[in-house]
Chain A
């Protein structure tokens, strides 16, 4: 290492620690050990750096500064807390407002149950059951008449019933004199349900009859009814059907 390089590196040598790197520091130390001109310079530089370093940091810090900073920190912290509280309050108010509006909309839009309407509807069904049944079938886009001439004086309900996972429209008739019923389930053959297993079936007290045909416009009827004694050759559903010739209701 030349004296000129040594002078440069001496200026960069740290008062504490050495960042020149091991190689440069070793070269510098070797040079200083042999060079009578640079060695005193190195010593002087070290002394100078130590003296300046100590003096550089020898500054009295005002006694009040720490307290001022702590007050500043507390003020800032309080402001942060206040901001958080404001934000949370605003958020809660917003949520409350949205919930209120939502509830209001829900309250206005939800269906209102009216007993007067229910009674009038029941009256209409009693006074003119044929028209009520026909209207109900039409509203559900079924043929306006059932496939058999049921006695609508025996009509009990028109609605839906949960059948094996599906809501199926059904019209229910009662037996005129005994404890029994006939339910007319109406299936739409639109592929939403698999109707391939529908067939006539008998049980001890009830039986099911399937009625289908092109005249029913893609609708299949399954009539589940209680079994009652009838004369031989008569329709098992006879108790529920209108007496032939009696067209008073039709």
Chain B
């Protein structure tokens, strides 16, 4: 009895901080991150028998949390996603410049990414998962993950080092895409959306 309880406590101590940070970056909200972390551990406790290798616990927990997050936001249309095809039109940043990262700006840029790009980007910078691990988490080919990462990083570098005018350009493009989406929807043409989502990039 004690050892089983101790096992859960050890699992919590080893992973709850990383899991919370991942949840925060995914959701962009401290309250959502806390809920997601608790829900993820709740599911993990119930499914503990499915965890075959103890050293895969973190990847397993991250995967549970991501699935919970996806389930939560599946029907959430309020999330504003920046079209990544805009990245190529943005001015390149100065190569010599070492950016001073603004935390709020970083989260804002992450929030604007489609989840299909956001997740590999977060996992990449968490430095705990290999490309193969990320591919397994997302159930995608490793080439797709690398391609998405390259594009997401370009976007992030542009956003974090860009002057206000560039952000406005991105915002304008996003608004333009939103308007286009609305028009397309009003024409009952669901496949007319030009937004670049995770499933379209390989």
Contact = CB atoms under 8 A, between A and B. Distances in A.
Contact of B98 (A14, A44, A57, A70): A44
A51 B127 contact: no
B66 interface: no
A69 B4 contact: no
Interface stretch (B11-19, B70-78, B182-190): B11-19
Interface string B121-135: 010111100110000
A16 interface: yes
B21 A73 contact: no
Chain A at the B interface: SS class: helix
A247 B17 CA distance: 110
A53 B125 contact: yes
Contact of A51 (B5, B9, B46, B98): B98
Given A14-B124, A66-B13, A73-B41, A44 B4 contact: no
Interface stretch (B50-58, B146-154, B170-178, B192-200): B146-154
B42 A76 contact: yes
B12 A48 contact: no
Contact of A11 (B126, B130, B131, B154): B154
Contact of A14 (B17, B34, B38, B127): B127
Interface residues of A, number: 36
A56 interface: yes
Given A76-B8, A77-B8, A65 B34 contact: yes
A55 B106 contact: yes
Interface in B1-35: 1, 4-5, 8-9, 12-13, 16-17, 20-21, 24-25, 30, 34
Interface in A120-155: none
B161 to A, nearest CB: 8
B97 interface: yes
A12 interface: yes
Chain B at the A interface: SS class: helix
A48 B21 CA distance: 20
Interface in B40-96: 41-42, 45-46, 95-96
Contacts of B38: 65, 68-69, 72
A47 B21 contact: no
Closest 10 CB pairs of A and B: A56-B125, A73-B8, A11-B150, A47-B98, A76-B45, A55-B101, A53-B125, A59-B21, A77-B5, A69-B12
19 contacts: A15-B125, A51-B98, A51-B99, A53-B125, A53-B127, A55-B103, A56-B21, A56-B126, A57-B125, A57-B126, A61-B20, A66-B16, A70-B9, A72-B38, A72-B45, A73-B45, A76-B42, A76-B46, A77-B45
Given A72-B42, A73-B8, 12 more contacts: A19-B131, A40-B95, A44-B95, A44-B96, A47-B98, A51-B99, A52-B160, A56-B25, A59-B25, A61-B21, A73-B41, A73-B45
